[in-house]
Amino acid sequence: MILSLTACSPCKKLAEKICDCEKSQSARNACKKGLDLRGQHKAFSKAEDNARCQAVLDSSDCTCDALAANQYEKCGFTR
């Protein structure tokens, strides 16, 4: 999945949630700064992407524990 990063979009919220799983504050800040830079381009802003991101947010399956266990599909990532 490619995350749409337009302001206040479900995909930006999901990406920020994933950034919050970084172990250190500096890593969290760097992750979020990267989101801000990508968000400036407003690429890949599609309704279907936002719907997928919202579904992941609604499921509550995307957790830091899931990411730590390499269960990336719970956060909407596919291989």
What pLDDT does residue 27 have? 96
State residue 2's pLDDT score: 44
Closest CA to 11 of 64, 62, 49, 37: 49
- pLDDT at residue 4 in the model: 46
b vs e for 38-64, b when ≥16 Cβ sit within 10 Å of the residue's Cβ?
bbeeeeeeeeebbebbeebbeeeebee
Res. 6: pLDDT tops 60: no
pTM for the predicted model, two decimal places: 0.77
Q: What is the pLDDT of residues 10-61, one digit of tens each?
A: 988 999 999 999 999 999 999 999 887 766 555 456 788 889 999 999 999 9
Locate 54 and state its tokens: 């919202």
Of 10, 20, 9, 7, which Cα lies nearest the Cα of 76? 10
